[in-house]
Amino acid sequence: MKILFIVTLLFLGILVSCEDQNETVSQEVTDIETQEMSFTTEAYSLPKVSPSVQELTSEWGAFEDFEAEVKRLRNPTLAELREESDRLLTRTDSLQKKIPDTLFTKPVEARVRVTFTRAKLLYQEAYRIPPDSAAVQKALKEMFDAASHLITQLNEKIQKDAIDLQRVESEQEEIKKQRRKRDSILQLEIQDNSGG
């Protein structure tokens, strides 16, 4: 009876050990397949940064780093996305901390904040276990959208500043013309009064 009990325990121990090994091997295969999961970003594009914005953002190193990180998100595997999302989160945090005075407006600040939030969401989805490929794809699209809106907002801000500057210069030129005209009329009146 004792021998039967010992043999049964031994058999159960071996059986449980084999199941654990099978689960470990199965988990390793699943992890490898998950890491090689790939996401499509071909449909997502970023608007071109205008030369004026490039000139201003050259002093804002965080923006150039951010733009490079977003461009690296082309058709990543899950492993690449995890690595990139970590760096992207760091870059967007840097963007948020220091916006140059020449680019600082409430809309730009809001777009930077949205971009930071989207980077955090992408990071969370990339590291979710088990990963949800649809949620990761959605977060990736939203990250590209946020980056596109930020670049568009920067381009529009510089364009608006140029229009405002042109308007101010036009107004100043008009004021100068009116002063010259008024001064010439005044001179004619003085001549008429002194001559007559």
| pLDDT > 90: percent of the chain | 45
User: Which residues, including other chains, have CB under 8 Å from residue 155's CB and lie 6 or more apart?
Assistant: 47, 49, 50, 53
Is the pLDDT at 109 greater than 90, yes or no? yes
In a domain, 195, yes or no: no
Quick: pLDDT tens for 110-147: 999 999 999 999 999 999 999 999 999 999 999 999 99
In a domain, 178, yes or no: no
In a domain, 181, yes or no: no
**Distance in angstroms (rounded) separating the CA atoms of residues 16 and 10:** 10
Higher pLDDT pick, 6 / 57: 57
Least-confidence region, from 18-27, 124-133, 187-196: 18-27
Short-list 26, 36, 28, CA closest to 75 = 36
**Distance in angstroms (rounded) separating the CA atoms of residues 174 and 120:** 51
In a domain, 187, yes or no: no
Least-confidence region, from 20-24, 26-30, 97-101: 26-30
Is the pLDDT at 20 greater than 70, yes or no? no
Binning the chain into helix, strand and coil, the percentages to the nearest 5 are 80, 0, 20
* pLDDT at site 35: 61
Q: Sorting pLDDT into bands at 50, 70 and 90, what band is 24?
A: very low
Number of domains in the chain: 1
**Helix, strand or coil, per DSSP, at residue 74:** coil
Within 10 Å of residue 63's Cβ, how many Cβ atoms? Answer: 25
Query: Residue 65: which domain range?
Result: 35-162
Average pLDDT over residues 6-14: 71
CA distances from 89 to 70, 118, 119, 120, 191 (A): 11, 9, 5, 6, 74
* pLDDT at site 25: 40
* pLDDT at site 29: 37
In a domain, 56, yes or no: yes
Looking up residue 78, the CATH number of its domain turns out to be 1.20.120
Q: Which of 15-24, 50-59, 128-137 is modeled with the greatest confidence?
A: 128-137
Is the pLDDT at 4 greater than 80, yes or no? no
* pLDDT at site 28: 46
Higher pLDDT pick, 8 / 135: 135
CA distances from 27 to 21, 31, 32, 48, 131 (A): 10, 6, 9, 44, 14
Average pLDDT over residues 154-172: 85
- Residue 100, phi then psi, degrees to nearest 5: -60, 145
Quick: pLDDT tens for 70-96: 998 888 999 999 999 999 999 999 999
